[in-house]
Structure 1
Amino acid sequence: MKVAIVMGSKSDLPVMQEAIDILQSFGISTEVDIVSAHRTPEKLVDFSSNAHLRGINVIIAGAGGAAHLPGMVASMSPLPVIGVPVKSSNSIDGWDSVLSILQMPGGVPVATVALNGAKNAGILAAQILGSQHPEILQKIVDYKNELKDVVLKAAETLKG
């Protein structure tokens, strides 16, 4: 099992690192790369068309600004693609990224998470893999139980 994590530029790495970290915590291998839809179109075509041949199961693609990367990857790959809109220095408060990834034409789905929501993208990728791999599914169940325990403990502290 392997998840590819691609981003439009190195400046997206601090956001995308959250996906890398959560996937590694679930024991899922990652392949991380920079693939610019606008500056390296040949690399984009090669990556997208061949990811499934390299053993990739899910792709997480993050980009800011015009954010064409997730949609272009999805247009060429048979794999599930999760798009992460990244709030970048040249974005319109992140809305350009969100709308570029969210508003895909019929037949080219991109599952879109919140602005800078790479952690949720990693969790979603793990859930996709968990539907076919019981050991990953159990790690997701355990993780969600940990989240529940944090909330229950916080609620108890309010009661005194």
Structure 2
Amino acid sequence: MSKKVAVIMGSDSDFPTVAPAIKRLKGFGIPVEVRVMSAHRTPDAAAEFSKNAKAEGFGVIIAAAGKAAHLAGVLAAHTTLPVIGIPVKSSTLDGLDALLATVQMPSGIPVATVAIDGADNAAILAAQMLALSDDSIAAQLEQMKLDMEKGVALKNEALQEKVAAL
């Protein structure tokens, strides 16, 4: 059985941002658990979850937060599991604050960081990490790449027809 992926968000208002990650993980057949925890309002709960995540069968933690965006770093500080941060776009600085807070981790506390609101890539990266020891997930990822390649080829064909018609 695959390891689980935790999708942790700093606020329930982040759910629309993380929904594509949940959908993608479920599409790969990867068990996913979704929770709300705050680096600032529930720091003990976040630390406790992270400390126990490996023993509870998780293989990767995805953390989404906006503004100060300390959630991914707090989780990463308490585990050896890979943590992927999703900086969430806010109204204040369009997510740049969250991006910088998520990516600028001190040495020894790495957080893999995707684009602002980049939940789909966070899920794909989590799947790639799990695929290192799960051939089924690896095969699905390979098929996904082939499907993307075919899709681009079809779009190019359609474009060439439009160009020829000019």
What pairs with 1:100-139 in structure 2 (closer than 5 Å)? Answer: 100-139=101-140
Measure, in 1, the Cα distance between the counterparts of 2:55 and 2:21.
22
Measure, in 2, the Cα distance between the counterparts of 1:134 and 1:95.
37
Q: Which residue of 2 aligns with 1:88?
A: 90
SS at match of 1:109: coil
Larger radius of gyration: 2
Q: Which residue of 1 aligns with 2:143?
A: 142
Q: Which residue of 2 aligns with 1:16?
A: 18
Runs of 4+ residues deviating >3 angstroms: none
Aligned residues: 159
Amino acid of the structure 2 residue aligned with 1:81:
V
Q: 1:43 aligns with which of 42, 45, 48?
A: 45
Shift of 1:88: 2.1
Amino acid of the structure 1 residue aligned with 2:63:
A
SS at match of 1:52: coil
Counterpart check, 1:34 vs 2:51: no
Amino acid of the structure 1 residue aligned with 2:82:
P
Measure, in 1, the Cα distance between the counterparts of 2:39 and 2:52.
16
Q: Which residue of 1 aligns with 2:8?
A: 6
Deviations 1:27-55 (A, max 9, x none): 10001000111111121111111111100
Amino acid of the structure 1 residue aligned with 2:52:
N
Contiguous gaps of at least 5 residues in structure 2? 162-166
Amino acid of the structure 2 residue aligned with 1:55:
G
Deviations 1:60-99 (A, max 9, x none): 000000000001100111100000000123x311111000
SS at match of 1:101: helix
SS at match of 2:115: coil
**What fraction of aligned residue pairs are identical, expressed as a percent?**
50
Contiguous gaps of at least 5 residues in structure 1? none
Measure, in 1, the Cα distance between the counterparts of 2:51 and 2:152.
43
Moved more, 58-67 or 142-151: 142-151
